[in-house]
Amino acid sequence: MTTPLRSYVAGRWYTAPDAAAGTVVSDAVTGDPVAVVSSTGLDMGAVLDHATGVGGPALRELTFPQRAALLKALAGYLKERRPEYYALSHRTGATLFDSRFDVDGGIGVLSAYAGIGARELPDDTVLPVDEPHLLGRGGGFVGRHLAVSRPGVAVQINAYNFPVWGMLEKLGPALLAGVPSIVKPATPTAFLTELVVRDVIESGLLPEGALQLVCGSVGDLLDRLGPQDSVAFTGSAATGRRLRGNATVLGEAVRFTVEADSLNCSILGPDAVPGTPEFDLYVAQLVTEMTVKAGQKCTAIRRALVPAGLVAAVVDAVAARLDQVVVGNPTSEGVTMGALAGLAQREHVRTAVRTLAVGARTVIGDPDKVDPVDADPTRGAFLAPVLLVADDPERPEPHHVEAFGPVSTVIGYGSVEGAIAAAARGRGSLASSVVTADPQVARQVVRGLGPWHGRVLVLDRDSAPESTGHGSPMPTLLHGGPGRAGGGAELGGLESVRHHMQTVAVQGSPSVLDAVSR
Ligand code: NAP
């Protein structure tokens, strides 16, 4: 029998009575069943009570540095166990490189929040946000803002592409803020999240109730939330819209953040012609974004905006690099790109490519043909990288359709203004980049892209050696984008900790404010 995935709720591991009839999750590489997922019978009221009655009070007793110390210890504990995570991560289709992105990346975020807590937060449970403002002429009446922990829960609904990072990047700020988390992983890769949560619980480092895990449906959890609770959702824009519209979420003004799909773009500067380091950087970055995690990154480059006269040169250079990409079993020697998370996900990508192809021609790859190393293409979710060219830049498809896989569309532009306007047609994205050695181009593009993007990377020969790349969100920087990208803001250092707290304006005499602030 396939192993039923368990949930960790109210201090114990829970297996649904109908586990055998749950959703079967298959190995992305072999198609063999890995786990069966069901949450039938889980009492979401008890889950919430445990979080608010047990986990929250225990966390809020700790000062910020004490919570930071927990995060540091947890990061160290998980780091020791990475080989186990990599091994299971292969079953999600990930290569070792991809797994490090997910696993080490997630642990790195925990460490980063441990550092923020230790360095930037007071030895207290309350966070003064600003210095006192004088409110009276004589100096006897002042006001300042304090951030206090909310006595609610942080519900974290994650997408399937980063089963470890996705959880840890949300967990870190919530723990530091003193708020207990209820994690709901996406079903296709929940088995990896469950393994990590098992270790977190076994470590005994977190106070009981600080972390609960629901594998499978969250049932009526959202209908039970209240004004002190928050939901952080990562996934498709369609699901995000639906959940954000939940009557209780709206009625109780539950803080609801959405990190949704996004048609990220990368602009090649007009100066970055073939033969310049910037041209090579652009092409290398595009291929990296297409192939890391088999393109299943919310920040991956979906639209490559290049000067119209350079479209052919870019396609040739990308083709030369993609020739080196070896698709196949991620544990096999020489394989550089693994599988998508499952056959259903591959079918979604194939459908999206067919829609993109209505307004563009496919110049590299065939979404229906793949010859993976050491794997059966009918059982494993493999897909060869696909590059399209939109000859008519006015076509809507590349700006509307997200193919969540190793797929990108090259679009020619006539002027920098035109490139900025094309970028905005994505209706809001998480990440963008401009590759140029011309500071004036960088200035114009950054100012033009700013309103529509959560992050803009300016890449040139000087920053390249240390650049973290187009697709990597950083713990200290904003991760989130306007419009289609969901309008959310995850990460971003202290801001994301404060997201879980209530900021209150306190007024009184300077001595009283001094006393309540410390
Ligand atoms: P999805 O189908 O929208 O699912 C996202 C999450 O929502 C999953 O955990 C899913 O659980 C859960 N969910 C679905 N219906 C729900 C409901 N009624 N109540 C509560 N939870 C519900 O997205 P996905 O296919 O997992 O992820 C791929 C998408 O995520 C892509 O479009 C990608 O662009 C986006 N993404 C965005 C970011 C970002 O930071 N912006 C990061 C990664 C991925 P089940 O799996 O159990 O249905």
Residue nearest to atom 16 of ligand 1 (CA): 239
Task: Say if residue 374 is in the same domain as residue 502.
Answer: no
Task: Say if residue 177 is in the same domain as residue 121.
Answer: yes
Task: Say if residue 298 is in the same domain as residue 396.
Answer: yes
d(CA 7, CA 218): 11
- Percentage of the chain beyond pLDDT 70 is 100
Q: What are 215-259's pLDDT values in tens digits?
A: 999 999 999 999 999 999 999 988 999 999 999 999 999 999 999
List the catalytic residue out of 194, 298, 402, 490. 298
Q: Quote the pLDDT of residue 237.
A: 86
Active site residue 298: yes
* Residue 191 and residue 35 in contact, taking contact as beta carbons nearer than 8 Å: yes
**Span from the CA of 159 to the centroid of ligand 1 (angstroms):** 4
Positions of the chain with pLDDT lower than 70, given as ranges: 1
Strand order in the sheet with 265-268: 361-364, 386-390, 407-413, 303-307, 265-268, 429-435, 453-459
Q: Is the CB of 169 under 6 A from ligand 1?
A: no
* Residue 290 and residue 407 in contact, taking contact as beta carbons nearer than 8 Å: yes
Q: Any alpha helices (H) in 55-212, and if so which ranges?
A: 56-61, 64-80, 82-89, 96-120, 165-177, 190-203
Residue nearest to atom 11 of ligand 1 (CA): 186
**Span from the CA of 234 to the centroid of ligand 1 (angstroms):** 6
DSSP β-bridge partners for residue 431: 455
Q: Quote the pLDDT of residue 20.
A: 81
Residue 196 lies in a domain: yes
Q: How far apart are the first and last CA of the chain?
A: 57
Active site residue 259: yes
Nearest in space to 514 (alpha carbons), one of 142, 67, 32, 70: 142
* Six-digit token string for 443: 């200035």
Residue 182 lies in a domain: yes
Environment class of residue 389 by beta-carbon count within 10 Å: exposed (0-12), middle (13-18) or buried (19+)? buried
Index of the ligand 1 atom closest to the CA of residue 260: 41
Task: Say if residue 102 is in the same domain as residue 201.
Answer: yes
Q: Quote the pLDDT of residue 1.
A: 64
- Per the listing, tokens 């803080």 go with 255
Q: Is the CB of 158 under 6 A from ligand 1?
A: yes
Integer CA distances (angstroms), 10 to 15, 47, 170, 192, 424, in order: 13, 6, 20, 21, 46
Index of the ligand 1 atom closest to the CA of residue 159: 26
Q: What is the CATH number of the domain that holds 50?
A: 3.40.605.10
Q: Where in 238-347 does DSSP place strands (E)?
A: 255-259, 265-268, 303-307
- Name 12's Cβ contacts closer than 8 Å, sequence gap at least 6: none
**Span from the CA of 251 to the centroid of ligand 1 (angstroms):** 23
Task: Please choose from 261, 289, 427, 474 the residue to mutate so as to test ligand 1's pocket, defined by most ligand atoms within 8 A of CB.
Answer: 261
Residue 316 lies in a domain: yes
- Per the listing, tokens 């490090």 go with 100
Residue 367 lies in a domain: yes
Residue nearest to atom 20 of ligand 1 (CA): 218
Task: Say if residue 414 is in the same domain as residue 504.
Answer: no
**Span from the CA of 186 to the centroid of ligand 1 (angstroms):** 6
Index of the ligand 1 atom closest to the CA of residue 239: 3
Task: Say if residue 122 is in the same domain as residue 192.
Answer: yes
**Span from the CA of 412 to the centroid of ligand 1 (angstroms):** 32
Q: How many domains does the chain have?
A: 2
Residue nearest to atom 23 of ligand 1 (CA): 235
Residue 102 lies in a domain: yes
Residue 83 lies in a domain: yes
List the catalytic residue out of 169, 194, 259, 402. 259
**Span from the CA of 233 to the centroid of ligand 1 (angstroms):** 7
Residue 134 φ then ψ, to 5°: -70, 130
Report helix, strand and coil shares of the chain as percent, to nearest 5.
Answer: 40, 20, 40
Task: Say if residue 73 is in the same domain as residue 139.
Answer: yes
Q: What are 142-157's pLDDT values in tens digits?
A: 999 999 999 999 999 9
- Name 295's Cβ contacts closer than 8 Å, sequence gap at least 6: 289, 385, 403, 404, 405, 406, 407, 408
Q: Is the CB of 244 under 6 A from ligand 1?
A: no
Index of the ligand 1 atom closest to the CA of residue 345: 25
- Per the listing, tokens 């993609």 go with 322
Residue nearest to atom 28 of ligand 1 (CA): 235
Q: Is the CB of 430 under 6 A from ligand 1?
A: yes
Residue 12 lies in a domain: no
Q: Quote the pLDDT of residue 2.
A: 83
Task: Say if residue 409 is in the same domain as residue 512.
Answer: no
Q: Is the CB of 23 under 6 A from ligand 1?
A: no
Residue nearest to atom 14 of ligand 1 (CA): 239
Task: Say if residue 281 is in the same domain as residue 146.
Answer: no
Task: Say if residue 81 is in the same domain as residue 216.
Answer: yes
Q: What is the CATH number of the domain that holds 449?
A: 3.40.309.10
In which domain, by residue range, is 415 found?
A: 265-480
Residue 108 lies in a domain: yes
Task: Say if residue 118 is in the same domain as residue 256.
Answer: yes
Q: Quote the pLDDT of residue 478.
A: 87
Q: Where in 308-366 does DSSP place strands (E)?
A: 361-364
Task: Say if residue 212 is in the same domain as residue 230.
Answer: yes
Q: Is the CB of 232 under 6 A from ligand 1?
A: no
Q: Any alpha helices (H) in 255-310, and if so which ranges?
A: 277-291
